[in-house]
Structure 1
Amino acid sequence: MNERLIAVGFEGSANKIGVGIVTLDGTILSNPRHTYITPPGQGFLPRETAHHHLHHLLPLLRSALDAAGLCPDDVDCLCYTKGPGMGAPLQVSALAVRVLSQLWRKPIVAVNHCVAHIEMGRVVTGAQDPVVLYVSGGNTQVIAYSEGRYRIFGETIDIAVGNCLDRFARVLTLSNDPSPGYNIEQLAKKGEKFIDLPYVVKGMDVSFSGILSYIEATAVEKLKNNECTPADLCYSLQETVFAMLVEITERAMAHCDKKDVLIVGGVGCNERLQDMMRTMCSERGGRLFATDDRYCVDNGAMIAYTGLLAFAHGVTTPLEESTFTQRFRTDEVQAIWREKNTPKTDNVHGESEQIPEKLDS
């Protein structure tokens, strides 16, 4: 298998537009991205987000090619996020890839956003066959690989944990720069008083909408009466929702007889979540694999790498099928590159839990 196969990946499923260039052995040649940031107290709407992506996509592509020292002739395939995500932003990447495919005469590979997070996490950390906790603004799932697919063992039954945190950040009018979840994390470090909140675990699933409604309803009153501080509320919310995530992850580990955990997705950058999960894994004799925002947060490299894995095993997407969808389940994807009867490439990052040095891109 030619490990120097090169793919360009386009990610734009939410408020970040990214272009990554990756080789089949997992080397990231470039990975620039740009985030659409709204004023404090506001979320991002599909139409405005799509306009942002349209404005930044071509400059990012030029930047990625220049940083990698490549031209279109060096590229073997073009990969894009098919879904899940927000419709209008997804459309930007899909359209760009269709046009570039015809201009550059390169094949297309459609990629599942969730699976891309997993494969990026695996290649960067060296995790071989872990239970995966995928936590972001749009998704919350506990996943493990079995018989050709990434199976979902538990998930949110309403809103994602990242959405819960982001919406509470709006209540406190925290800045969206670099992200509302990051600013909640920093404020939570100053919290001293724990406030009881609803704890909703239902078997292998979790629910966050009731917790959000409760804290939204009580936050203003408690702050007005000086019963707590904004930092106390952030601290209490984090501790509660992260404990729920650790519980269902540990239950999946017991069910699957696995000891290692990989955290992926934007919320996976949270150091407190990583600390709690690391403690649980250690008590079970296992390891936690996690990264920082370079790889947890949406990026083009994860799309390029996952698409390239599929491309190396003969998978391409016909032009007429290079569509996008807001609903695309993790377990719908046949992970052909993980099947035992197909060739596997060596993980260049080895067995270490360390992440690579930051790339200038």
Structure 2
Amino acid sequence: MVCALGIEGSANKIGIGIVNDGKVLANVRRTYITPPGEGFLPKETAKHHREVILALVQASLKEAQLQPADLDVICYTKGPGMAPPLLVGAIVARTLSLLWQKPLLGVNHCIGHIEMGRLITGAQNPIVLYVSGGNTQVIAYSNKRYRIFGETIDIAVGNCLDRFARIIKLSNDPSPGYNIEQLAKEGKQYIKLPYVVKGMDVSFSGILSHIEELAEPEKRRNKRKKPQDEPEPEYSQADLCYSLQETIFAMLVEITERAMAHCESNEVLIVGGVGCNERLQQMMGIMCEERNGKLFAIDERYCIDNGLMIAHAGAEMFKTGTKMPFEDSFVTQRYRTDEVLVNWRED
């Protein structure tokens, strides 16, 4: 049995989780929320994390009813992510490791999502769709690695949604993507948008530019140099959100289905913050049903960035004897999913 404490702080959420041999003991989290129309900058995000992280560590131990001596290992997000927020988690993890005299392990953020999803859902060997603010990848396990079959070639799907939410001034509370999802439910008209799938890869930046013009008729008029008296069509925000979701989620379903066919898999697991989206789950579920497959998804407790996923992945690594020298406890903004040797899986 391994009892692990995990620290996740790669973006605007800072979370602490404690897991003991696959049993969830604590999962506490705080989110840095900015005003409508604004994103979160690395410096301010890191400041938020510094202000709340120690209280979260104390809250996690209280929720788990544990003392530091009960822990076996301290885990933190090594990357990928934004450097200043990542450093907050790494520095606190180093400090706790020294104070409590516990081993320290750096965990890949994506691997944390995948292993958390497998733990909660019981999925054995699924095709993984990893969709978040900073990442979009279709992944399958093979020969001790999580292999990337397809990914975004520019911005991530969550980043696309977040940036559009800022354009139309939606609230960032609880998250821009969530508010787009709710507004999309009111949409009735589908507006044709660019559909960009290139082999197994996808692109979202052109879609974002196009829908930004649709959302701002004056900008579109100036760009296309139309006569000022020529009316520009206007679209409701609900229709734009609905159309954006339908288009980009259809792209994701397409490349996921292609990966299923290639790997002869009948399971799909959706992880990452965007994986909470009910419409994405519905569309993916329809595809899986048509292929006699099964969809696995998790709710916002485990889908959105959290410390528990880092604790669980770190515990799995620790069980197999993985060790990390203290001098290697740095962070890296670009830490590929397929760089990690998955030595804890035997299938």
TM-score range, shorter chain: over 0.9
Aligned 1:304-319 pairs, distance under 5 A: 304-319=311-326
Q: What is residue 340 of structure 2 aligned with on the other side?
A: 333
Match of 2:127 in 1: 131
Q: For 2:100 and 2:154, how far apart are their aligned partners in 1?
A: 42
Q: Does 1:18 align with 2:23?
A: no
Match of 1:150 among 133, 146, 150: 146
Matches within 5 A, 1:233-252: 233-252=240-259
Q: Deviations over 1:215-249 (max 9, x none)?
A: 11221119995632100000000000000000000
Residue 54 (structure 2) aligns with? 58
Q: Which residues of 2 match residues 199-348 of structure 1 at below 5 A?
A: 199-221=195-217, 225=232, 227-340=234-347
Query: What is the aligned-residue identity percentage?
Result: 68
Q: Distance in 2 between matches of 1:317 and 1:9?
A: 15
The answer (yes or no) to whether the contact 2:195–2:207 under 8 Å persists in 1 is yes
The runs of 5 or more residues in structure 2 that have no matched partner are 221-230
Matched AA of 1:149: R
Q: Matched residue of 1:261: which SS?
A: strand
Q: Secondary structure of the equivalent of 1:338? A: coil
For 1:22, the aligned partner's letter is V
1:80 to 72, 76, 79: 76
Query: How far, CA to CA, are the matches of 2:300 and 2:323 in structure 1?
Result: 29
**Structure 2 residue identity aligned to 1:116:** G
What's the counterpart of residue 190 of structure 2?
A: 194
| 1:6 equivalent in structure 2 | 3
Aligned equivalents of 1:63, 1:184: Cα separation in 2: 32
Instruction: Extract unaligned runs of 5+ from structure 1.
Output: 341-361
Q: Distance in 2 between matches of 1:339 and 1:94?
A: 30
Equivalenced residues, count:
336
CA distance in 1, matches of 2:20, 2:331: 24
1:117 shift after superposition: 0.2
Counterpart in the other structure of 2:169: 173
- How far is 1:339 from its partner? 2.8
- Residue 228 of structure 2 is matched in structure 1 by none
- The separation in 2 between residues aligned to 1:79 and 1:62, in whole angstroms, is 16
SS of structure 1 residue aligned to 2:216: helix
TM-score by length of 1: 0.92
Quote the offset at 1:108 in angstroms: 0.4
Q: Deviations along 1:134-155, whole A, 9 cap, x unmatched?
A: 0000000000000000000000
| 1:85 alignment partner, SS class | coil
Q: Secondary structure at the match of 2:344?
A: helix
Q: C-alpha separation between the residues in 2 aligned to 1:339 and 1:331?
A: 17
Which residue is 1:122 aligned to?
118
1:159 aligns with 2:155: yes
| Alignment partners' CA distance in 2, 1:155 and 1:55 | 35
Match of 2:226 in 1: none
Q: Deviation string for 1:283-325 (max 9, x for gaps)?
A: 0000000011111100000000000000011012111000000
Partner-residue secondary structure (3-state), 1:152? strand
CA RMSD of aligned residues (A): 1.1
Post-superposition, which runs of at least 4 consecutive aligned residues in structure 1 deviate over 3 A? 222-227
Per mean C-alpha deviation after superposition, the further-off stretch among 160-169 and 220-229 is: 220-229
CA contact (8 A) 2:15 2:29 kept: yes
Q: TM-score, normalised by structure 2?
A: 0.95
CA distance in 2, matches of 1:57, 1:205: 37
